[in-house]
């Protein structure tokens, strides 16, 4: 798992539906729709520092060790406890409203966030290139 590096959003699928479902306000969705999110990942063995830089100079950093419960934060500032695990080369973490996975595919960082609903899953897939 070579996650370390600086990554910039290249494409997003399912962005609007996912954001609406988890309660992000329409004006924030509009601002973020075409924003090139930058993600800085520092990996040292099983230890990670994962920072995402959002519009208006807002950033969120989550530090974690694989398999150990840690304090995490959402973009909205909600703090929660989670354990990040690995499954088949993917990092997985259960956020309060969705399951988030990250993996490296073809040299790209692919992040998938899935909300389960009565009508089936709603999925956001963000693909980022290394910069």
Q: For 37-79, how does the pLDDT look when each residue is reduced to its tens digit (9 = 90+)?
A: 899 999 999 999 999 997 777 889 999 999 999 999 887 778 9
The mean pLDDT of 96-115, rounded to a whole number, is 94
**pTM exceeds cut of 0.85:** yes
Q: Is-contact 83 102, C-beta < 8 A? A: no
Q: Band the pLDDT of 1: cuts 50, 70, 90.
A: low
Domain around 37: 5-130
Q: Please count the structural domains in the chain.
A: 1
CA-nearest of 53, 75, 49, 74 to 62 is: 49
């Amino acid at each position: 798992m070579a996650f370390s590096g600086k990554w910039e959003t290249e494409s997003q699928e399912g962005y609007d539906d996912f954001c609406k479902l988890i309660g992000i306000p329409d004006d924030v969705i509009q601002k973020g729709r075409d924003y090139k999110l930058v993600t800085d990942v520092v990996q040292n063995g099983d230890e990670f520092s994962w920072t995402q830089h959002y519009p208006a100079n807002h950033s969120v950093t989550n530090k974690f060790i694989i398999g150990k419960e840690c304090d995490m934060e959402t973009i909205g500032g909600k703090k929660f406890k989670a354990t990040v695990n690995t499954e088949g080369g993917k990092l997985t973490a259960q956020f309060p409203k969705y399951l988030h996975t990250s993996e490296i595919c073809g040299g790209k960082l692919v992040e998938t966030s899935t909300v389960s609903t009565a009508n089936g899953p709603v999925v956001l897939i963000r693909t980022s290139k290394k910069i």
